[in-house]
A and B are shown apart, each in its own frame.
Chain A
């Protein structure tokens, strides 16, 4: 079962998709982190973060993604980043995020 959302609460399944959007780069991006946490704690085993609508990721976005990675790790879940722009992948690689997630 797959559920998709941008920050809203939907039925949680084994695999959840979250759209990062531009929310990620502000303090309001903590809401995305909170949603991911809810899903992971409810039993989600694969969290997919979709970056198709994300132009750039700044330092706040990186910090929030690190929070998501940490929570997933604590809950034994896998994190997948999909539709990520090449330069963003380079940034993730440079900062070590790619050591913890799968880029799809």
Chain B
């Protein structure tokens, strides 16, 4: 076989391996190092380097270097004229003697000469400079032939594509990061707006200051106790914050009446869920159930609620959560016509109305959350912060919660554990 054919087969082998390397490896640095080996080995070239172009810094930064010594510059500054010439030249190898007219060559000429560089190949992919290849002398001592340059051009194109792909990935990652930041900012803005709305709603009712915020937080607790993920839990909180937004249109004297309101006033007040729904519906919430929570948070499982008198499964789940949170807050805060009720009474009330007004599993989850906090199983003092330490730690609350939970789910394993505990020693 003629030597030319041998060279051709060897070079094709290298080209095939290069293609495989570029399409199969994920580690960019290793890909480029291997690519440089393949290029040098394909033609028996003593030394060389592959550089990546930085279009922001206007530099060529070495990413793989072989045989060029420790003093070879790893970063080469370019001028606009250099970059323009690279684009004009495309992927064609330039002999160093001809490349000396380029401005950057004049700066680094001594380094290139010391390492006996003979060829310079700008890597231009889709009319963009992505990098460059520097090549030293051939081991044979022969000059580069046209055939050699064609092989270099073909392999250079592969290497250029690998760099272009990496640049594209970096660009996508940068955009993804920007989008994530933007999303976080929008989310933060949304939450600030929601909280501002909640504060505005609460401002209207001087007796229930902070009610919407607390309902939001109680809804969040219930969702968390149900095992909902972070986004869903956040949605429950937002639903709680905004559940009374319809009250913004109800006359202040009705909301702040220091007596039980009459039927007419009550009818007026009872419009607030429907109005709230109308207000919230056109808004593109990240959580779709927010308007439903506003509309149906006064519905009851037994069909005696309003505005539509829905029964159990007809009521959206989020509305059941907000309903429980809303009622719990109403019972545990002072109202103009009714004082705050003791915690034990509230527990009894919720228990008694589980299955009538409230979804039993929600009541159980809520009680479970309170009990965990009282038993010190959670470091987050959510209920203490919302209700006050004295209120939450009133004597016998933990025992009341435990016995109520046992009554509500007598067949769960908790029955045996709790029954034994109650009999043996007091619960704190």
Binding site for B on A (CB under 8 A): 27, 58-64, 66-67, 69-70, 90-91, 94-97, 99-100
Contact = CB atoms under 8 A, between A and B. Distances in A.
Interface string B343-373: 0000000000000000000000000000000
Given A59-B37, A97-B44, 8 more contacts: A27-B30, A59-B38, A60-B34, A62-B41, A63-B38, A66-B44, A69-B139, A99-B139
A27 to B, nearest CB: 5
Contacts, number: 77
B138 A59 contact: no
A96 B138 contact: yes
A84 to B, nearest CB: 16
Given A59-B17, A66-B45, A96 B141 contact: yes
Given A94-B6, A96-B139, A96-B142, A60 B44 contact: no
Most buried by B among A64, A66, A91, A99: A66
Given A58-B13, A59-B13, A66 B141 contact: no
A70 B47 contact: yes
Interface in B35-62: 36-47
B33 interface: yes
A2 to B, nearest CB: 27
26 contacts: A59-B13, A59-B14, A59-B37, A59-B42, A60-B17, A60-B37, A62-B40, A63-B37, A63-B38, A63-B66, A69-B46, A69-B139, A70-B46, A70-B47, A90-B6, A91-B6, A91-B10, A94-B6, A94-B10, A94-B44, A95-B140, A96-B141, A96-B142, A97-B139, A99-B140, A100-B139
Contacts of B141: 96, 99
Contacts of A27: 30, 33-34, 37
A66 B17 contact: no
A27 B30 CA distance: 8
B338 interface: no
B3 to A, nearest CB: 6
B41 A60 contact: yes
B117 to A, nearest CB: 14
A61 B37 CA distance: 8
Nearest to B69: A74
B111 to A, nearest CB: 17
A63 B40 contact: yes
A96 B140 contact: yes
A66 B33 contact: no
Contacts of B258: none
Contacts of A100: 139
Contact of B36 (A62, A63, A94, A97): A63
Nearest to B30: A27
Nearest to A90: B6
B67 interface: yes
B336 to A, nearest CB: 79
A58 B46 CA distance: 15
B7 interface: yes
Contacts of B39: 59
A3 B142 CA distance: 35
A85 to B, nearest CB: 14
A59 B44 CA distance: 8
A64 to B, nearest CB: 7
Contacts of B36: 63
